[in-house]
Amino acid sequence: MAPTLAAPTVKVDRKWQLWINGKFEDGVSERQLFNPGNGKPLAKVAEAGPDQVEKAVKAARNAFDHGPWPRLTALERAQFLFKLADKIDENASELAEIETLNMGKPLRETQYDMADAANCFRYYAGLVTKPLGQTVDVPAPSVTSIVREPIGVCGQIIPWNYPLLMAAWKLAPALAAGNTCILKPSEYTPLSVIRLAEILAELELPEGVVNVVLGDGPKVGQPIAESILVDKIAFTGSVKTGKLIAAAALTNLKKVTLELGGKSPMVVFDDFNLDTAVDYALFAIYCNAGQVCSAGSRMIVHKSIHDQFIKKMIERSKKIKVGPGIEPDTEMGPLVSAQQLKRVLEYIEIGKSEGAKLEVGGDQPQGESLSGGFYVNPTIFSNVKPEMRIVQEEIFGQVVVVQKFDNEKEAIELANGTQFGLAGAVFTSDVSRAHRVVKAIKAGITWVNGYHNTYNECPWGGYKQSGWGRELGTYGLDAYTELKQININLDPQPVNWFQP
């Protein structure tokens, strides 16, 4: 792991440009970014205009139709991805610090993210050289095979909570399969992705294979989703935006992968160690200040331990060290932006107005080192009802609701009682109960007696309105390929279907 840093050592107040067709260029405008830790100006980044978005799409189209990348062997593409992973490792300290300054999360988290990103590229580099097709035993003289081919041009729109890691999740399988990409990072957190583009340029990735365009959703993301030159769109973000992306993709019926929101339950039975359950609950909701799509934002706790569970959560949450991500002892950083701070504080007021009991938090921490930053103290609501907005809607912040249940049936009903189905967990010492409940939870990612562990080898995605399709694992590679059957007649003779 990279060393912990007490103060910024990288220069972010420099030129941050678009990367189109292998060249860096200025945009038609600039956006001012702010450091979430103190609210001060951090850097200015270029933003693309309509002509530059179109230029990037055409560059990717030309690179796929006529360039070398799709025509390389799987081994050659894998060798490039291995080199890229090594470069990420070499620059991990710098990349982690850039992301902490831009997004706000503690360095100990961004350091893990850099390692995960490098390993994602390694995983797909290894996977793509393995057998991916089939041969089928059909009547002679035919020989039939089933192959996977790259889809083509892929538009990829990533969120602000894990900027470089989400870029890796999308770029790694797409590039491994032989596609070309237009990557749009969040307008709030583009810096580590631009730095990744600079690394790709250093490695001499062929022109147009990856293009990084900057700007907001309506001006940059929507045109990519609508373009008839784009064959696939992959999006991670909110349900509202995901529906707009899906509608835009109808222009040419492009393939779509959507990883959307969550309101994930953590079900705790009374036979599980209470202190361990509370420890996991804190990790489930307060990691990355709750800005995680799979965050455990609903604690569903057996009535016999409900009060003790809340008491211990309050005690532990008050001890969490909140501060700037760049400080080595920070355990929970700020929210990403002033807009996200406003959203979370508004939801806290909604919870109060709905009649929920604010057990702890709900306010902003004070202190000289926190001045101007986008901070909220760890927040817990109890006495909630299933229909409350703070129970049903994704807050995407350090706010958790605690629900009480009487029996297993009620626990499952509460767990499945939202429009979302991304993740969920059950904590119990009863193996049979664990199997029953985890299978009954309608979610794509589940844990028993654990939370948040994520693997490049396993599919990521959800049920219901948490999205379409899956990322990661072999499923993530499949999502960037088209299936083709090839039938070869080894002894062509007249069919004589019709009378000669």
- Active-site residue set: 259, 293
Our measurement of the distance from residue 146's CA atom to the centroid of its chain's CA atoms, rounded to an integer in Å, reads: 31
What is the rounded CA–CA span in Å between residue 302 and residue 270? 6
Query: Residue 446 in contact with residue 235, Cβ under 8 Å?
Result: no
Please enumerate in sequence order all residues whose Cβ is within 8 A of that of 2, keeping only pairs 6 or more positions apart, or say none.
92, 93, 96, 111, 114
Query: Residue 145 in contact with residue 37, Cβ under 8 Å?
Result: no
Q: Look at strands 379-382 and 357-360 and give their pairing.
A: antiparallel
Residue whose entry in the numeric block shows the structure tokens 């007490």: 6
Query: Residue 233 in contact with residue 225, Cβ under 8 Å?
Result: yes
* DSSP one-letter code for 249: G
Which tokens go with 279? 């420890």
Query: Residue 98 in contact with residue 147, Cβ under 8 Å?
Result: no
Residue whose entry in the numeric block shows the structure tokens 């959800």: 462
CA dihedral 163, 169, 172, 175 (to 10 degrees): -90
Strand order in 18-20's β-sheet?
23-25, 18-20, 210-212, 180-184, 153-157, 232-236, 255-259, 467-468
Query: Residue 231 in contact with residue 154, Cβ under 8 Å?
Result: yes
